[in-house]
Amino acid sequence: MKIKNLIYALLLVSFTSCGEFDDLNVDPNNPVSVQTGTLITSAQRSMSDAVGSSLGALYAQHIADIIYTEGGRYQSIVADFSTWYSGPLQNLQTVIDLNTDPATSTSAAASGSNANQIALARILKAYFFHFLTDRWGALPYSEALKARGGIYSPKYDSQEAIYDDLLKELKEAVAQMDGGAGVKGDIIFDGDMDSWKRFANTLRMNIALRMADVSNGKAQSEFNDAITAGVITADVFYPYLGEANNENPWFASFRTRTDFAVSEHLVDYLKATNDPRLPKFADPTLNSVAAGNPIYTGMPYGVTNPTSLPPDVSYPNSTYVKCQDCPLPIYTVAQVNFAKAEAAARGWGGGSAEDHFKAAIQASWDQWDVSYTAGEFDTYYNQANVKWDAGNWKASLAQQKWVGLFIQGYEGWAEWRRLNGPTFVVPAEPLNPSGGIPLRNIYPTTEASLNGVNYSAAVTQFLGGNDSDGVRLWWDVN
């Protein structure tokens, strides 16, 4: 309730993206006007664009288009990243600059201790850059956000270099927290810096695991260190409100349209395993409800010639997914337990892989408010197409983690690429250059004209000369 009240208050402020440091209209003779808490809030609100993205859910094939099927046929594979730089990332860099500069640090401390604000901003920057690099691969990173230093055309860094620096940033951010005042404007944890420590360690855990197939030793060391340092013990959600200024994006998309349904192959798997999460993920079809016999029907993915009227399919659930103030997951306890299961399966220590796997499924059930007895869970778990298979653990993990990541679209897409499963549907008439399921987003067309030298160098050095959605990212070796 405290966080929701905070959001309501901050929604009275006009949020703007600061493309330049000077956009803040800070009077150098009167730095008391600095409002770094507002910049924190504005940056955090952009997290909704990551966790609530319909495009991400389409890439993960949790959701299917109904009438306008271009998204699920990958027409929008060329994607713009400029607003992430000019919006949340620039806001966070400004928070760091204002809390670092002696001329503004005293007044900036009105929004929390300087060290804590810098630490939180570094963690959020790592969150956004991790999200971005797992979509595009190599990106402007080490020279990005430095226009005040005269760098207007930043070079691209390899994904490996970005990953290495993100791990460093997260560790240093946690270490610099000073026990002082928590950060104001924080709508995720309400200024609780211990929660931000756990969030940073969880993000580091996730980054480490994603690089396991290309840098096993470093991945193991970073993963185990993050776990030891302390990861989340409760699900972390983005807190939407019951009003239009900060409402659940799925609710907004269904206000006047019915463009999306739960995908057929997800619904079919949940039905085949009698998974109690099905009615939490999806609503029964409208016609079946009207007939008094509710059933669940998924939408075929990547349809070429959809009908002109919506078929009778199951939309995302109106109570858990797309109500106006339904929170959406950022990171969950289920993800942590799936990660621990994989680490154990890789021989990194940390107990029984199967025990962690079972705990992950149970955590996912808890996340979706499933009521069950121990016997009911055992009946579900002991099915051949659910139970942990130590001899083919990647397949077991890929299938159940995909289900557990429902509606966390970009995470689901990343894990499908990394684990090479479960089986996805290739549209009959895809609209993307590769003609297959995308392995990355293509750089925005503006990069060739606005940052041409560095763009061309990145395509040559990191993509083999072809800016295609069919080029694998650094960590994608399966």
pLDDT of 33 reads 52
- 4-13, 147-156, 261-270: which has the minimum mean pLDDT? 4-13
Q: What is the mean pLDDT of residues 466-477?
A: 98
pTM of the model: 0.93
Residue 70 CA to residue 74 CA, distance in Å, equals: 6
Q: What is the mean pLDDT of residues 307-329?
A: 92
Residue 287 CA to residue 295 CA, distance in Å, equals: 9
pLDDT of 152 reads 94
Q: Binning pLDDT at 50, 70 and 90, where does residue 306 land?
A: confident
**Residue pLDDT, tens place only, 405-425:** 999 999 999 999 999 999 999
Question: Burial level of 452, CB count in 10 A (0-12/13-18/19+)?
Answer: exposed
- Percent of the chain at pLDDT exceeding 70: 92
* Tokens representing residue 387 in the block: 């139970």
* Average pLDDT across the chain, whole number: 93
pLDDT of 19 reads 34
The answer to whether 195 and 187 are in contact (CB under 8 A) is no
Peptide bond into 427 cis (omega under 30): no
Q: Does residue 162 sit in helix, strand or coil? A: helix
What H or E segment, with its residue span, contains residue 265?
helix 264-272
Q: Binning pLDDT at 50, 70 and 90, where does residue 24 land?
A: very low
Tally of CB atoms within 10 A around 344: 19
Q: Which residues contact 268 (CB under 8 A, 6 or more apart)?
A: 298
pLDDT of 308 reads 65
Q: Alpha helices of 137-239 — where are they, by DSSP H?
A: 159-176, 193-210, 216-229
The answer to whether 67 and 308 are in contact (CB under 8 A) is yes
Alpha carbon 468 to chain centroid distance? 22
pLDDT of 34 reads 59
pLDDT of 302 reads 95
Query: Is the pLDDT at 52 greater than 60, yes or no?
Result: yes
pLDDT of 20 reads 33
DSSP code for 23: G
Q: What is 2-26+33-68+78-232+439-462's CATH number? A: 1.25.40.390
- Phi first, then psi, for residue 112 (nearest 5°) are 125, 165
- Phi first, then psi, for residue 171 (nearest 5°) are -65, -45
DSSP secondary structure string for all residues of 425-469: PPPSS--STTSSS-SSPBPPTHHHHHSHHHHHHHHHHHSTT---T
pLDDT of 109 reads 97
- 169-173, 191-195, 253-257, 304-308: which has the minimum mean pLDDT? 304-308
DSSP secondary structure string for all residues of 265-325: HHHHHHHHTT-TTHHHHBPPPHHHHHTT-----PBPTT-SS--SS--S-PPBPTTTTSSTT
Bridge partners of residue 262, in order along the sequence? 63
pLDDT of 15 reads 34
- 105-114, 299-308, 365-374: which has the minimum mean pLDDT? 299-308
pLDDT of 18 reads 35
Query: Is the pLDDT at 14 greater than 60, yes or no?
Result: no
**Residue pLDDT, tens place only, 63-78:** 999 989 999 999 999 9
Residue 226 CA to residue 229 CA, distance in Å, equals: 5
Query: Is the pLDDT at 122 greater than 70, yes or no?
Result: yes
What counts of helices (H) and strands (E) characterise the chain? 22, 6
Query: Is the pLDDT at 28 greater than 90, yes or no?
Result: no
User: What is the C-alpha R_g of the chain?
Assistant: 22
